[in-house]
Amino acid sequence: MIFAIIFNSYYPKFKTMIKRNIQTILLFLTVVLMVSLVSCDPAKKYEKEESAKIQEYLNSNSNLNFVLKPSGLYYLEVEAGSGRIPVKHDTAYVKYTGKFLNGTVFDTNVGKPDTLAFPVDEGWLISGFDEGITFMREGGKAIFLIPSKLAYGPSGYYIIDGYTPLLYDIELVHVSPGPAK
């Protein structure tokens, strides 16, 4: 009987204490979960994987002496040209082959009658391609290793997955001066 009296007098306090503890625990777990979700940025994982793929390619092709540009573009001059260096608003005419790092070709105009013509540095092409052209001279050949941030980024494009670095073999066939040149 005494136990029933004591229990009935303390039960409301005990019930309130348990309820507060459960609320505190749930709040703590919610904060931990939110911090975990924010710190698990999947983009960082893919960026690291892409960086590792590029490094693996460079290591297995150590005979290719790419120059790493400040933007992240890897540039390799294969054959120096002797003509004009393209600048913004010039029209560049190129032969190209686009490949994945494993050597699979995804696009080319080599063996076709037309060159790719585009205004330089006007956003018509991926930024890595646009930038790479400005390091060449007319008549030259180069290889661009373009990280995804200078290509199709995290979303990709058609058959090119997100976070995919690309290789381009380029021949700068001709450069036409832009307006006011």
pLDDT digits (tens, 9 = 90+) for 121-130: 988 999 999 9
C-alpha distances (whole Å) from 139 to each of 81, 96, 104, 113, 122 are: 4, 13, 26, 17, 22
What is the Cα–Cα distance from 153 to 158, expressed in whole angstroms?
Answer: 12
pLDDT tens column, 125-147: 999 999 999 999 999 999 999 99
Shared-domain flag, residues 85 and 148: yes
Cβ atoms of residues 101 and 107 within 8 Å: no
**Spatial CA neighbour of 164 closest among 85, 51, 63, 37:** 51
Half-sphere exposure of 3 (CA within 13 A, CB side): 0
pLDDT for residue 44: 80
108 occurs within a structural domain: yes
25 occurs within a structural domain: yes
* pTM: predicted TM-score of the whole model, two decimal places: 0.74
pLDDT for residue 179: 80
Domain total of the chain = 2
Structure tokens at 120: 């330089």
pLDDT for residue 37: 55
Given phi > 0 = left and psi -120 to 50 = alpha, else beta, which region is 161?
Answer: beta
Alpha-carbon torsion 166, 79, 57, 132, what sign?
Answer: negative
Shared-domain flag, residues 7 and 48: no
Shared-domain flag, residues 72 and 141: yes
Shared-domain flag, residues 36 and 47: no
Alpha-carbon torsion 123, 129, 132, 136, what sign?
Answer: negative
Structure tokens at 178: 């832009």
Residues of the chain where predicted confidence (pLDDT) is lower than 70: 1-23, 25-29, 31-43, 180-181
Shared-domain flag, residues 56 and 112: yes
Shared-domain flag, residues 29 and 77: no
181 occurs within a structural domain: no
Q: What's the first-to-final CA gap in the chain, in angstroms?
A: 105
Shared-domain flag, residues 23 and 50: no
pLDDT for residue 59: 92
What is the Cα–Cα distance from 140 to 105, expressed in whole angstroms?
Answer: 21
For residue 16, give its domain range: 1-40
